[in-house]
Structure 1
Amino acid sequence: MSSPSPAGGAGQAAMSLRERKKAKTRRAIQDHALRLFAERGYDATTVESIAEAAEISPSTFFRYFPTKEDLLLRDEYDPMLAEAFRRQPSGLAPLPALRAAFRAVATEAGDRDLESALFRTRLAMTVPAARARSLENMLSMMDLLADAVAERTGADPSGPAVRVFAGAVIGALLPVLLAWVESGGETPVADLVDRALSLLEAGLPV
């Protein structure tokens, strides 16, 4: 049996350290996988070969990524976005706050991370198994966004207004990702997202 965590700040610091270590391992596994995908192709790369490259066991791999497709779909950006959204000034309405949050996350991610995200997004759109799991990923992001908006506005997170708002944002992001992949990353994703959300903010004038 493990010993109880220390109380107060020390316990929080220990938990933070564990989470950082887990995030570092998760990122290392993903980096090795993406390198192998680029070298061998997605279908030819096995979970066993990824685990070997990352110097972990296949069982450890599955503790971090339930399936190979999750390597393409899971990242830290959704919680980063929710946190950046919460940091925006309280006077901002949800859409302007969300635009600012996306811009902040893109800046924080940096060019290398965005290049990796572009590669993952391209594969996620072309690998049938990943496309099938994308809906689950989008629904999770919608729930995360609905909770953040409800927290900001005091509205019911399960109410129709909040759910429709979150769904509209997710819907706006789909053509953004497609345009980003088609441009080969030439147009910054932060600009594409901002343009899409500005259309939502303007009531989708068509």
Structure 2
Amino acid sequence: MSERKPTLRERQRSETRHAIQAYAVRLFTDRGYDAVTVADVAEAAGVSAMTVYRHFPTKEDLVLVDQPALLIAERVAASSAGEPVVRRVGGALVEAAAALTGGGGEPVADERFLLDCLRLMVSTPSLRARHLDSQYALQGVIVDALGCDTADAEDVFRARAATSACLAAMHTALTRWADDDGRTSLPDLIAQALAAGTGGKD
């Protein structure tokens, strides 16, 4: 069965969303997150403030990148259920990072944009709090993708614990990647952080 192609309206909506977010992150990076208003973003993007809010309900949403969650969930779901959870999740994190940064061909996202978003999240208290919320939501998406038996509380607990450990390793790798200004391979950093966190074991 072939994948449904987006309609013209869906493509236009996606392009508008990406353009608004690109202008927002550029302004936040240049002037500081707290110094820029949604009205400033709307003016820079050539749209109304209402249009910005239609795509991004809060100012914090302008800095969140939603692509990784989908990429990670797809790769977790496609992994072998017979493998240890840490290997399934860790492998998905590495593969998603490769897709995002072009490690496996054409990058899904602009690397400079990703770095700017990451730095903003690390340096801005309100965004750090929102980032933690998004990580918790990502944990839930991954556990769902693992196909755990939700009736088995112990199964879900182990999956959440393993996923949390992998996400903590990824966060450490992302911080290092930002410190290196993207000069180091993100997939390699995540793999190294996972190995360090698990003692080199699956």
Name 1:29's counterpart in structure 2. Answer: 20
Matches within 5 A, 1:104-119: 104-109=95-100, 110=102, 113-119=110-116
Name 2:120's counterpart in structure 1. Answer: 123
Change (3 A) 1:19 1:91: farther
Relative contact order higher in (CA < 8 Å, ≥ 6 apart)? 2
TM-score, with structure 1 as normaliser:
0.78
Q: Per-residue CA shift, 1:45-87, capped at 9, x if unaligned?
A: 2211211222222122112222222222232111121112223
- RMSD between superposed Cα atoms in Å: 2.8
Name 1:135's counterpart in structure 2. Answer: 132
> How far is 1:155 from its partner?
3.2
Aligned equivalents of 1:190, 1:80: Cα separation in 2: 14
> How far is 1:200 from its partner?
4.3
Given that 2:97 and 2:187 are in contact with CA atoms closer than 8 Å, whether structure 1 keeps it comes out as yes
Decide which of 149, 158, 168 is 1:155's aligned counterpart: 149
Change (3 A) 1:92 1:21: farther
Matches within 5 A, 1:169-188: 169-188=166-185
Decide which of 72, 75, 88 is 2:66's aligned counterpart: 75
The one-letter code matched in structure 1 to 2:35 is A
Unaligned runs of 5+ residues in structure 1 are 1-8
Q: Aligned pairs, how many? A: 191
Aligned equivalents of 1:119, 1:172: Cα separation in 2: 20
Name the SS for the 2:33 alignment partner. coil
Aligned equivalents of 1:36, 1:69: Cα separation in 2: 13
Change (3 A) 1:108 1:178: closer
Which region of structure 1 is more displaced relative to structure 2, 128-137 or 31-40?
31-40
Name the SS for the 2:50 alignment partner. helix
